[in-house]
């Protein structure tokens, strides 16, 4: 277990170094390519209830995706992380204007306030069809390296107990976040698919 943790830490540092070397323009460019791949994806086109993360600076930008979700009339859910635990909820986002009013966290991302009880939690209702998943690193077999808290692994575990079952999961990645192989443990949930800019041979 200690060896696995150490291996993950080394890899986290390496990926952070690679991503921090990207210019803002390059991050925007790759984000646009990856977003358009998602917009053509059959699982995205057919889903009604979708959860998507609001990106940090070192993640694929999701702003255009959120706009597209509302444009297509899908129901959008976003994470609310509890910093004191590994608990995360997916709460309904009502509109783009709604998003702009959300408070900023210490991670500089917007999320519904702790005392905001007016929003539907996805698993209290009809579950989710698709979760767009963030992460630090990914490999092509669906292994994911998160930031070490386990928010998504714990949430996907909850999804599996919902009558609807586990939603399809798609991760969004900069090419620099791809690895040969990610070391994983028993609690790490695999991602169904990783979208990134395919640069060919």
Bind-site residues for substrate: 54, 59
- Neighbour count for residue 57 (Cβ, 10 Å): 12
Annotated binding site for ATP: 8-12, 144-152
Q: Which of 200, 179, 199 is nearest to 16 (CA)?
A: 179
Q: Which of 53, 52, 59, 12 is nearest to 31 (CA)?
A: 59
Contact criterion met (CB below 8 Å) for 132 and 170: yes
Between CA 80 and CA 154 the distance in angstroms is 13
User: If you search the block for the tokens 């192989």, which residue do you land on?
Assistant: 181
Tell me the CB-side half-sphere exposure of residue 45, using CA atoms within 13 A: 6
Residue 190: phi and psi, rounded to 5, are -75, 150
DSSP 174: -
DSSP-derived 3-state class of residue 155:
helix
Annotated binding site: 8-12, 54, 59, 144-152
DSSP string, 126-162: T--SEEEE--SEE-TTS-EE--SS-HHHHHHHHHHTS
Q: Which of 201, 195, 200 is nearest to 60 (CA)?
A: 195
């Amino acid at each position: 277990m200690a060896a696995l943790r150490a291996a993950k830490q080394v890899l986290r540092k390496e990926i952070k170094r690679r991503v921090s070397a990207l210019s803002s323009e390059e991050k925007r460019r790759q984000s646009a390519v990856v977003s358009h791949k998602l917009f053509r994806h059959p699982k995205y086109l057919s889903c009604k209830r979708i959860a998507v993360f609001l990106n940090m600076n070192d993640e694929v930008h999701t702003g255009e995706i959120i706009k597209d979700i509302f444009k297509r009339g899908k129901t959008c859910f976003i994470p609310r992380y509890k910093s004191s635990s590994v608990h995360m909820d997916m709460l309904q986002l009502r509109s783009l204007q709604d998003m702009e009013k959300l408070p900023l966290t210490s991670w500089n991302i917007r999320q519904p306030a702790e005392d905001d009880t007016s929003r539907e939690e996805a698993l209290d209702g009809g579950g989710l069809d698709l979760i767009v998943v963030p992460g630090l690193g990914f490999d092509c077999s669906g292994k994911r390296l998160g930031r070490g808290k386990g928010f998504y692994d714990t949430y996907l575990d909850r999804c599996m107990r919902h009558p609807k079952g586990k939603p399809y999961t798609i991760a969004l990645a900069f090419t620099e976040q791809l690895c040969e192989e990610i070391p994983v443990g028993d609690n790490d949930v695999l991602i169904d698919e990783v979208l990134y800019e395919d640069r060919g041979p």
